[in-house]
Amino acid sequence: MPFRGDIYYFGAGPAPLPTPVLEEASKVLLNYKDGGIGITEISHRSADANEILSHAKSGLRQLLDIPESDGPDGYQILFLHGGGSGEFSAVVYNLVSVWVAKQQKQLNIDINDESSLQRLRERVAQMKLDYLVTGSWSLKASQEAARLMGSEHVNVVSDSRKHREGKFGLIAEPSTWNSTKNDADVAFTYYCDNETVDGVEFPVSPSGPNLVADMSSNFLSRAVDVRKHAVIFGGAQKNIGTTGITIAIVSNAMLPPQADMADPTLLRKLGLSVGPVVLDWPTVAKNNSLYNTLPIFDVWIAGQVMQRLLDIHPSSSDSKIAGQQAESDQKSALLYSILDKHGQVYQVVPDKSARSRMNICFRVKGGDAEAEKAFVKGAESQGLFGLKGHRSVGGIRISNYNAVPVAAAEKLAAYLETFASQ
């Protein structure tokens, strides 16, 4: 039977967690703070739960330099249910509500007056949700927006498949983008910073009104200009913790009292969707993420992972995430260098201009099924697991998340060399 130290896991999610965090977790599951009960048994309304939430928020603020929660320029950190897919919907529900309320105020609309309401309907007909479609996840997000609001409101700013013979694998030049011309019509601009299925990552953040980023798979792997964004969200199960929570960083400019939210009655009169309360950011923020029962153990794990990053990468620079960013860059550069060196054996899928540091996607011998099976089998014999590509695209995928140590990347690089030489 193999021990944990004998195995290196490169799965795309749920992803590996740091062993020291798991060792401590095994203790608190049984007896938290020597209180005689385990952490999964404590009340989410307790002082301990609030302390766990506070610790996780503090760690995230330090790592990503998130402005404090107070004031118009601040940001709220929310812990939610539903995963990244839940936030596909939450983004639409919340930011459309903010946009509609803003139009109502500007037009001085009386919702009980039909002629007044008709003016607002005409304005809503011009509303656009701008989506950059660069891979499978941003495509799903745009499809969810179309399902909720109608395809006439979704503007695909760029579809990478149109620039690559019908397949994902690059980020088109901004000069080719078809952004909505009038910023006032745009409720938000949406992009997925790192596409796990297709191995594409934005080199730098794009721009657009009320910028929203799905950072599920590269959270805490590099510095982020939070102030450029209205919302950043990510599922925890890749770089932050266990499956079960989603983290959203929401600008106060998108929340009461800085922003009004449209009344559900008005939204219904306009024929727009009204979202479930568990995805309502103002409700979650007002209740300190405790509107309903939050899995506090998952928040504790996230907080421990964040604290570990602060502890093992002390930095004298302004960026607390600089050490982890350097490590992520080091691992990905090593692996890509071997793949490029043996181009006759390995073919990297995405364009070099947009290669992901987190999800390294490639084919063996041009996608030869037997060669790829042999590659995976040989890797597993060396204790290297989780290398099969996503079921929708096949091939090989190395998920290079934060908890994958440099030693794992080095061992995999050696295997890549050996396999190529055979």
* Interval 337-352: pLDDT, tens: 999 999 999 999 999 9
Mean pLDDT of the chain: 96
For 231-277, the pLDDT digits (tens) are: 999 999 999 999 999 999 999 999 999 999 999 999 999 999 999 99
* pLDDT category of residue 319 using cuts at 50, 70 and 90: confident
Angle subtended by helix axes 322-341 and 406-421, to nearest 10: 0
- pLDDT computed for residue 313 by the predictor: 82
Fold classification of 50-299 (topology level) = Aspartate Aminotransferase; domain 2 (3.40.640)
Taking the C-alpha atoms of residue 155 and residue 180, their distance in angstroms, rounded to an integer, is 7
pLDDT above 80 for 328: yes
Please compute the mean of the pLDDT values over residues 385-393 and round it to a whole number: 95
DSSP collapsed to 3 states, the chain: CCCHHHCEECCCCCCCCCHHHHHHHHHHHHCHHHCCCCHHHCCCCCHHHHHHHHHHHHHHHHHHCCCCCCCCCCEEEEEECCHHHHHHHHHHHHHHHHHHHHHHHHHCCCCCCHHHHHHHHHHHCCCEEEEEECCHHHHHHHHHHHHHHCHHHEEEEEEHHHHCCCCCCCCCCHHHCCCCCCHHHEEEEEEECEECCCCEECCCCCCCCCEEEECCCCCCCCCCCHHHCCEEEEECCCCCCCCCCEEEEEEHHHCCCCCCCCCHHHHHHCCCCCCCHHHCHHHHHHCCCCCCCCCHHHHHHHHHHHHHHHHHCCCCCCCCCHHHHHHHHHHHHHHHHHHHHCCCCEEECCCHHHECCCEEEEEECCCCHHHHHHHHHHHHHCCEECCECCCCCCCEEEECCCCCCHHHHHHHHHHHHHHHHC
Domain boundaries, the chain: 50-299, 321-421
Please compute the mean of the pLDDT values over residues 34-44 and round it to a whole number: 96
- pLDDT computed for residue 5 by the predictor: 86
Q: Which value, in Å, is the radius of gyration of the alpha carbons in the chain?
A: 23
Percent of the chain at pLDDT > 90 equals 95
Q: Please, which residues bridge with residue 75 across strands?
A: 251
| Tokens read off for 404 | 């994958």
* pLDDT category of residue 316 using cuts at 50, 70 and 90: low
CA distances 84 to 57, 137, 349, Å, are 19, 9, 24
pLDDT above 70 for 199: yes
Please compute the mean of the pLDDT values over residues 46-69 and round it to a whole number: 96
Please compute the mean of the pLDDT values over residues 295-309 and round it to a whole number: 97
For 110-161, the pLDDT digits (tens) are: 999 999 999 999 999 999 999 999 999 999 999 999 999 999 999 999 999 9
Nearest CA to 223 among 314, 76, 322? 322
Out of 3.40.50.1100, 3.20.20.140, 3.90.1150.10, 3.30.300.280, the CATH code matching 321-421 is: 3.90.1150.10
